[in-house]
Amino acid sequence: MPQDFSKLKREKHSLSEYIKQALIENNVVSDYEKRPAYQQNDYIAWIERAKKQKTKEKRLMQMIEELKAGGVYMKMKHPASIKKE
């Protein structure tokens, strides 16, 4: 179910092909899509804002790990995304 991005107060960022590919390769597309629109947008903006490629890759991996684990967003607890067994 697509998220509603119409209520975002910040600029909406497009999902880059390399981020989309990383989501697919790590089997976390559905985890990403379940997150609220603001989180999806914040993750993309945060990754893309990095000036160095190494930093982009580090941030991308943090997002992937958080999506895999569930229950965390930007190193903060996020109870709504805890994965049920």
- 27-80 confidence digits (pLDDT tens): 999 999 999 989 999 999 999 999 999 999 999 999 999 999 999 999 989 888
Strand partners, 72: 77
pLDDT value at residue 4? 72
From the CB of residue 42, how many other CB atoms can be counted at a distance below 10 Å? 18
What tens digit of pLDDT does each residue of 13-25 get?
889 999 999 999 9
What does the alpha-carbon distance between residue 19 and residue 21 come to, in Å, rounded to a whole number?
Answer: 5
How far apart CA 28 and CA 30 sit, in angstroms, is 6
Helix (H) or strand (E) holding 46: helix 37-49
Owner of token pair 């893309």: 48
Gyration radius from the chain CA atoms: 12
